[in-house]
């Protein structure tokens, strides 16, 4: 694991220990119905739109985009929704990515879209912290514990988005009941990015689904800078894309999100 990723994992462990007594009841209460991500993706594709998960991302390792307080997060998410995104991803890791649970909660109160909590989930207590529709589970970090975390997430009402980077991690993911597979084009060992990762792994998911009568939703993550990249991963077999940095770098979050959503139309 790259030193920056290990740093995040170490600070996450420390934070969990420090705040364990203050954990708030999370999961999905009966009064708050989970928003259907799979239907949102299907509807967008049927209308010729690219299913874009737009990300509220204050920073990435080594680069800060902007300070985002809960009110800012809500405004940005609203712009993303208006631009046609199918879901909103919210970074909640506070040290390196400068996210927060408060941002996540503000976004989910503001938009009608499914909301993904994007963090480094390593402890069951994190599934008790707050409410979201989807939750990121990283196969390369959870390893053999992945199935237990997927089962627990489903039990608590989350839609797990299981992230993989190679064939071994994909095999772990496909052995779980998760319906959403995220292919991270970033190597967590080197932090290098290549869209070839989606091109290699998406066909493996499709072949598995064909043999087993399953239909996973494939999300291509990281390294998507514009419409050409979107078309490339969609052509490779991705159903949706998760985009953060290039949206946050843009002067208009609305216009950049809209451009990505309409990528297939621009190509035509």
Domain ranges of the chain: 3-14+35-267
Residues 104-121 have pLDDT tens digits of 999 999 999 999 999 999
Coil vs helix vs strand at 21: helix
Residues 71-94 have pLDDT tens digits of 999 999 999 999 999 999 999 999
CATH T-level assignment (fold) for domain 3-14+35-267: TIM Barrel (3.20.20)
Residues 249-258 have pLDDT tens digits of 999 999 999 9
CA–CA distance, 88 with 77 (Å, rounded to integer): 7
Asked if 80 and 253 count as a contact pair (C-beta separation under 8 A), the reply is: yes
pLDDT at 107: 97
Q: In Å, how far are 3, 92, 126, 194, 242 from 50, measured between CA atoms? A: 34, 25, 31, 20, 11
Report the chain's C-alpha Rg in angstroms: 17
pLDDT at 6: 77
pLDDT at 157: 94
In the predicted model, what is the mean pLDDT of residues 6-35? 67
Coil vs helix vs strand at 253: helix
The band of 19, judged by pLDDT with boundaries at 50, 70 and 90, is low
In the predicted model, what is the mean pLDDT of residues 169-178? 98
**pLDDT over threshold 60, residue 25:** no
Q: What sign results for the dihedral spanned by CA atoms 143, 147, 148, 151?
A: positive
Residues 186-243 have pLDDT tens digits of 998 888 999 999 999 999 999 999 999 999 999 999 999 999 999 999 999 999 999 9
pLDDT at 96: 85
Q: Which pair of tokens denotes residue 138?
A: 């990283």
Angle between helices 196-212 and 227-236 (to 10 degrees): 30
Helix extents (H) in the chain: 3-19, 37-46, 70-82, 101-110, 139-142, 146-155, 167-174, 196-212, 227-236, 245-249, 253-261, 263-267
For the annotated catalytic residues, the residue numbers are 55, 57, 118, 163, 184, 221-222
């Amino acid at each position: 694991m790259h030193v920056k990723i290990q740093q995040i994992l170490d600070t996450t462990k420390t934070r969990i220990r420090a705040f364990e007594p203050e954990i708030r009841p999370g999961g999905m209460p009966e009064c708050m119905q989970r928003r259907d991500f799979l239907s949102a993706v299907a509807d967008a594709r049927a209308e010729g739109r690219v299913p874009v998960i737009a990300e509220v991302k204050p920073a990435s390792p080594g680069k800060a985009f902007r300070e985002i307080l809960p009110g800012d997060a809500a405004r940005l998410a609203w712009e993303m929704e208006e631009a046609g995104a199918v879901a909103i991803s919210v970074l909640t890791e506070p040290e390196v990515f400068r996210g927060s649970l408060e941002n996540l909660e503000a976004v989910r109160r503001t938009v009608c879209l499914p909301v993904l909590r994007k963090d480094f989930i390593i402890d069951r207590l994190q599934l008790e912290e707050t409410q979201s529709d989807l939750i990121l589970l990283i196969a390369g970090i959870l390893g053999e514990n992945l199935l237990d975390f997927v089962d627990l997430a489903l039990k608590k009402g989350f839609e797990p988005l299981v992230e993989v980077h190679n064939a071994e991690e994909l095999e772990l993911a496909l052995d779980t009941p998760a319906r959403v597979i995220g292919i991270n084009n970033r190597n967590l060992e080197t932090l290098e990015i290549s869209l070839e990762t989606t091109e290699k792994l998406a066909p493996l998911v499709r072949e598995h689904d064909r043999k087993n009568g399953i239909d996973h939703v494939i999300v291509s993550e990281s390294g998507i800078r514009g419409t050409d990249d979107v078309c490339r991963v969609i052509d490779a077999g991705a159903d949706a894309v998760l985009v953060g940095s290039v949206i946050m770098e843009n002067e208009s979050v609305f216009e950049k999100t809209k451009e990505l959503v309409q990528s297939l139309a621009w190509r035509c």
